[in-house]
Structure 1
Amino acid sequence: MAELPAPVAAAIDATNRGDSEAFVAAFAADAVLSDWGKEFAGREAIRDWDRSDNIGRGAHFEVLGVEQEGGLCRVAVEVSGGGFNGTSEFAFRVADGLIARFEITP
Structure 2
Amino acid sequence: MTTPDPIRRFVEATNAGDTRAFLDTFTEKAFLSDWGSDFHGRDGVARWNQSDNIGVQSNLRIVSVAQRDGVHHARVAVTGNGFNGEGDMAFTLDGDRIERLIIS
Could you tell me which amino acid in structure 2 is paired with residue 95 of structure 1?
D
| Structure 1: gaps (5+ residues) | none
Q: Give aligned-pair identity as a percent.
A: 38
Could you tell me which amino acid in structure 1 is paired with residue 93 of structure 2?
V
Residue in 1 aligned with 2:59? Answer: 60
Moved over 6 A (4+): none
1:44 CA displacement:
0.8
Deviations along 1:14-55, one digit per CA (max 9) or x if unpaired, are: 001110100000000000010001110000110111011100
Q: TM-score, structure 1 length as denominator?
A: 0.94
1:70 CA displacement:
2.9
Deviations along 1:43-87, one digit per CA (max 9) or x if unpaired, are: 011011101110000001111111011310000011100000011
Aligned partners of 1:4, 1:31: CA distance in 2, in Å? 20
Residue in 2 aligned with 1:77? Answer: 76
Could you tell me which amino acid in structure 2 is paired with residue 6 of structure 1?
D
Aligned partners of 2:37, 2:94: CA distance in 1, in Å? 22
| Structure 2: gaps (5+ residues) | none
1:92 CA displacement:
0.1
Q: TM-score, structure 2 length as denominator?
A: 0.96
Corresponding residue SS for 1:50:
helix
Aligned partners of 1:66, 1:96: CA distance in 2, in Å? 18
Count of paired positions = 104
Alignment of 1:1-106 (within 5 A): 2-105=1-104
